[in-house]
A and B are shown apart, each in its own frame.
Chain A
Amino acid sequence: MSPPAASQRYPSPSQPSGKSEVTDLKTQLRQLAGSRAPGVDDSKRDLYKKVISYMTIGIDVSSVFGEMVMCSATSDIVLKKMCYLYVGNYAKGNPDLSLLTINFLQRDCKDEDPMIRGLALRSLCSLRVPNLVEYLVGPLGSGLKDNNSYVRTIAVTGVLKLYHISASTCIDADFPATLKSLMLHDSDSQVVANCLSALQEIWSLEASHSEEACREKESLLSKPLIYYFLNRIKEFNEWAQCLILELAVKYVPSDSNDIFDIMNLLEDRLQHANGAVVLATVKVFLQLTLSMTDVHQQVYERIKSPLLTLVSSGSPEQSYAILSHLHLLVVRAPFIFASDYKHFYCQYNEPSYVKKLKLEMLTAVANESNTYEIVTELCEYAANVDIAIARESIRAVGKIALQQYDVNAIVDRLLQFLEMEKDYVTAETLVLVKDLLRKYPQWSHDCISVVGGISSKNVQEPKAKAALIWMLGEYAQDMSDAPYILENMIENWEEEHSAEVRLHLLTAAMKCFFKRPPETQKALGIALAAGMADFHQDVHDRALFYYRVLQHDVHVAERVVSPPKQAVSVFADTQSSEIKDRIFDEFNSLSVIYQKPSYMFTDKEHRGPFEFSDELGSIPITPEASSDIVPAQQFEANDKDLLLSTDEKDDNKGLSSNNGSAYTAPSYESSSSISSQMQELAISGPATSSTTPQSSFGFDDLLGLGLSSAPAPTPSPPLLKLNPRAALDPGAFQQKWRQLPLSLTQEFSVNPQGIAALTVPQSLIKHMQSHSIHCIASGGQSPNFKFFFFAQKESEPSTYLAECIINSSSAKAQVKVKADEQSTSQAFTTVFETALSKFGMP
Chain B
Amino acid sequence: MMISQFFVLSQRGDNIVFRDYRAEVPKGSTETFFRKVKFWKEDGNAEAPPIFNVDGVNYFHVKVVGLYFVATTRVNVSPSLVLELLQRIARVIKDYLGVLNEDSFRKNFVLVYELLDEVVDFGYVQTTSTEVLKSYVFNEPIVVAPTRLQPIDPAAIFTQGAKRMPGTAVTKSVVANEPGGRRREEIFVDIIEKISVTFSSSGYILTSEIDGTIQMKSYLSGNPEIRLALNEDLNIGRGGRSVYDYRSSSGSGVILDDCNFHESVRLDSFDSDRTLSLVPPDGEFPVMNYRMTQEFKPPFHVNTLIEEAGRLKAEVIIKIRAEFPSDIIANTVTIQMPLPNYTSRASFELEAGAAGQKTDFKESTKMLEWNLKKIVGGAEHTLRAKLTFSQEFHGNITKEAGPVSMTFTIPMYNVSKLQVKYLQIAKKSSSYNPYRWVRYVTQANSYVARI
Contacts and interface: CB of A to CB of B under 8 A. Distances in A.
Do A and B make up one complex? yes
Interface of A: 10, 49, 52-53, 56-58, 77-78, 81-82, 85, 89, 92, 115, 122, 128, 153-154, 157, 160-161, 190, 194, 197, 237-239, 242-243, 246, 267, 271-276, 278-280, 301-302, 305-306, 308-310, 312-318, 320-322, 324-325, 342, 345, 347-353, 356, 377, 380, 383, 385-386, 388, 391-392, 419-421, 586, 588-594, 598, 601-603, 606-611
B260 A273 contact: yes
Given A78-B138, A383-B399, A356 B84 contact: no
Contact of A310 (B23, B62, B122, B260): B260
A267 B75 CA distance: 28
A589 B114 contact: no
B416 interface: no
B126 A190 contact: yes
A608 B18 contact: no
Nearest to A238: B263
A276 B129 CA distance: 16
Contacts of A272: 260-261, 263
Contacts of A153: 121, 126
Contact of A588 (B78, B196, B290): B78
9 closest residue pairs by CB, A with B: A347-B446, A276-B81, A317-B50, A313-B289, A239-B125, A305-B258, A606-B74, A608-B75, A388-B44
A751 B445 CA distance: 70
* Residue from B49, B87, B399 having most chain A Cβ neighbours under 10 A: B49
Contacts of A349: 405, 445-446
Given A271-B259, A386-B46, 20 more contacts: A49-B110, A53-B109, A56-B16, A56-B109, A154-B121, A190-B127, A197-B124, A273-B289, A275-B80, A276-B78, A302-B243, A306-B258, A313-B289, A314-B87, A318-B83, A318-B87, A385-B338, A603-B74, A608-B76, A608-B77
A420 B290 CA distance: 41
B124 A194 contact: yes
11 contacts: A77-B138, A78-B139, A239-B81, A243-B1, A278-B80, A305-B258, A388-B45, A392-B44, A606-B74, A608-B1, A608-B75
B282 interface: no
Given A588-B80, A593-B51, A309 B258 contact: yes
B286 interface: yes
A314 B62 CA distance: 11
A81 B51 contact: no
Contact of A320 (B18, B49, B124, B288): B49
B84 A318 contact: yes
B83 A590 contact: no
Nearest to A352: B45
B325 interface: no
A308 B261 contact: no
A767 B292 CA distance: 65
Given A52-B110, A602-B75, A606-B75, A321 B83 contact: yes
Contacts of A49: 109-110
A308 B80 contact: no
Contacts of B125: 239
Interface in B95-147: 109-110, 113-114, 117, 121-122, 124-129, 135-136, 138-139
Nearest to A596: B53
Contacts of A342: 207
* Residue from B76, B81, B126, B257 having most chain A Cβ neighbours under 10 A: B76
A318 B262 contact: no
B78 A589 contact: yes
Contacts of A278: 80, 260
A324 B117 contact: no
B448 interface: yes
Contact of B138 (A81, A279, A306): A81
Nearest to A201: B2
B213 A313 contact: yes
B45 A348 contact: no
B79 A589 contact: yes
Interface string B50-85: 110100101001110000000001111111110111
Contact of A128 (B23, B51, B86, B257): B23
A302 B405 CA distance: 34
Contacts of A243: 1
B317 to A, nearest CB: 20
B44 A603 contact: no
Contact of A92 (B23, B113, B241): B23
Nearest to B394: A421
A609 B129 contact: no
A617 B213 CA distance: 44
A309 B260 contact: yes
A197 B126 contact: no
A57 B15 contact: yes
A305 B394 CA distance: 45
A611 B76 contact: yes
A606 B439 CA distance: 47
A723 B110 CA distance: 69
Interface string B410-451: 000000000000000000000000000000000001101010
Nearest to B47: A351
A238 B81 CA distance: 10
A682 to B, nearest CB: 17
Contacts of B372: none
B178 to A, nearest CB: 22
A122 B75 contact: no
A246 B1 contact: yes
A351 B241 CA distance: 32
Contacts of B126: 153, 190, 194, 239
A242 B2 CA distance: 12
B261 A607 contact: no
Contacts of B18: 56
A317 B47 CA distance: 12
B44 A279 contact: no
A383 B401 CA distance: 8
A170 to B, nearest CB: 14
Contacts of A197: 1-2, 124
B94 interface: no
Nearest to B119: A239
Contact of A115 (B74, B136, B288): B136
B242 interface: yes
B13 to A, nearest CB: 11
Given A157-B122, A348-B446, A279 B113 contact: no
B198 interface: yes
A314 B262 CA distance: 13
Given A318-B83, A321-B83, A421-B394, A308 B291 contact: yes
B41 to A, nearest CB: 11
Given A310-B260, A345-B198, A590 B394 contact: no
Contacts of A377: 206
Given A92-B23, A352-B46, A309 B290 contact: yes
B258 A353 contact: no
